[in-house]
Amino acid sequence: MGAEEHLAARGELGDPAALTGRLFRDMVGALELLTVYLGERLGLYQALDAEGPATSAELAARTGTTERYIREWLEHHAASGLLEVDDPAAGPLARRYSMPPGHVPVLADTGAIRDQAFNGVEIVRAARWMPELAAAIRSGGAPPPLAWAPEGRPEFNRALFLNLLARQWLPAIADVDLRLRSEPPARIADLACGTGWSSIAMAQAYPLTSVDGFDLDADAIQVARRNAEETGLAGRVTFTVADASGPGVSGQYDLVTIIEGLHDISRPVDALRVARGMLREPGCVIVADELVEDEFTAPASIEEQYHYAWSVVGCLPAVMSDPDSAATGAVMRPATLRRYALEAGFQSLEILPVKAGMLRFYRLAP
């Protein structure tokens, strides 16, 4: 559904019946994501994909779970069109459920670019700190950082980066692509690298390069190191716990990247100044961040609503504990980034014609 159709489906602004219907559908969607959380956490999707159609008892046996719970979950998923059932008229224990082949890359294959099952984990995590967030909104400051346990960190960018970042998006920037393929071997610094998939993707696609990833989050860096080991790239990729806006990040690099991370850094101008200082001729900084409208728009596209919602519940609160925070939020408009870049001493900021889904690519020239 396009943005305009989506807005039309929501009905006239001010119509109470339309708003009631919309909030009911939102509730159905929110509850559906909680059931997706269970499917993902309990390995139900993978078990259906790998071993084929199953009754509730068979799926429970495959996954070490309890039949009565699984029966209800399967009935919900079939009733909601997420799974198929062979014969709805059969008895509850006789029905066999299967995953339509087209749903496998979305629900069961974590390596696919359409992978979305992590959204269940995202919603559960976001909801966990709502009470602390409400308190912080009253009192100022920020909710305390949310521990990754028990859900673990949803790897929302893993498949996208491994498949597209260095195989489509960076190759679309011809001079950067050429430099990364050429001798002498290029050095890349990847700031706010999270669990390291952007760094690993670049090292995989550009075998001459070495990549140093930096992130403030020690848990993320630990996972990033493990990911590098498991992908056999630990020799060419390093990961360090460091504040990208502080003195802990240094070195000389041909390319500095900040991929979906700049708006999460409380002092983005300092981080860009650090990044600029790390460049050697003719290097540049590439920032990828949320593809948002150029100006505030209301009502806005569904993508803009999505970015705003994450900003309210996650990205803005995460940077509010720093008294010197720029308090950017997820809706970082091109004009805001241009101002940050100029304040950090860059000569120019260019919006790159890279088609990268929900991300926009920028080049900052020193």
Ligand X SMILES: C[S@@+](CC[C@H](N)C(=O)[O-])C[C@H]1O[C@@H](n2cnc3c(N)ncnc32)[C@H](O)[C@@H]1O
Q: Which residues contact 199 (CB under 8 A, 6 or more apart)?
A: 188, 190, 193, 211, 212, 213, 224, 228, 237, 239
Q: CB-wise, 104 or 241, nearer to ligand X?
A: 241
- Supply the minimum distance, in Å, between the C-beta of residue 28 and ligand X: 28
Q: CB-wise, 244 or 292, nearer to ligand X?
A: 244
Q: Which residues contact 20 (CB under 8 A, 6 or more apart)?
A: none
Three-state DSSP class for 4? Answer: helix
- Supply the minimum distance, in Å, between the C-beta of residue 244 and ligand X: 3
Q: CB-wise, 54 or 216, nearer to ligand X?
A: 216
- Supply the minimum distance, in Å, between the C-beta of residue 253 and ligand X: 16
* Cβ-contact 153, 227 below 8 angstroms: no
Q: CB-wise, 92 or 111, nearer to ligand X?
A: 111
Q: CB-wise, 245 or 336, nearer to ligand X?
A: 245
- Supply the minimum distance, in Å, between the C-beta of residue 120 and ligand X: 18
Report the residue closest to ligand X, judged by CB: 194
Q: What value, to the nearest 5°, has the Cα angle with vertex 338 and ends 333 and 339?
A: 100
Q: CB-wise, 18 or 358, nearer to ligand X?
A: 358
Q: What value, to the nearest 5°, has the Cα angle with vertex 256 and ends 254 and 258?
A: 165
- Supply the minimum distance, in Å, between the C-beta of residue 192 and ligand X: 3
- Supply the minimum distance, in Å, between the C-beta of residue 314 and ligand X: 9
Q: CB-wise, 180 or 319, nearer to ligand X?
A: 319
Three-state DSSP class for 324? Answer: coil
Q: Which residues contact 246 (CB under 8 A, 6 or more apart)?
A: 270, 274
- Supply the minimum distance, in Å, between the C-beta of residue 258 and ligand X: 8
Closest CA to 284 of 206, 208, 346, 221: 346
Residue 26's H or E segment, with its range, is: helix 16-41
- Supply the minimum distance, in Å, between the C-beta of residue 162 and ligand X: 11
Closest CA to 89 of 78, 103, 104: 78
- Tokens 């390093």 belong to which residue? 238
Exposed e or buried b for every residue in 280-317, given b needs 16+ CB within 10 A? eeebbbbbbbbbbeeeeeeebbbbbeebbebbbbbbbb
Binding site for ligand X (CB under 6 A): 157, 192-194, 197-198, 214-217, 220, 243-245, 259-261, 264-265
Q: CB-wise, 35 or 240, nearer to ligand X?
A: 240
- Supply the minimum distance, in Å, between the C-beta of residue 249 and ligand X: 8
Q: CB-wise, 82 or 364, nearer to ligand X?
A: 364
- The string of DSSP codes covering 237-297 is EEEEE--TTSTT----EEEEEEES-GGGSS-HHHHHHHHHHTEEEEEEEEEEEE---SS--
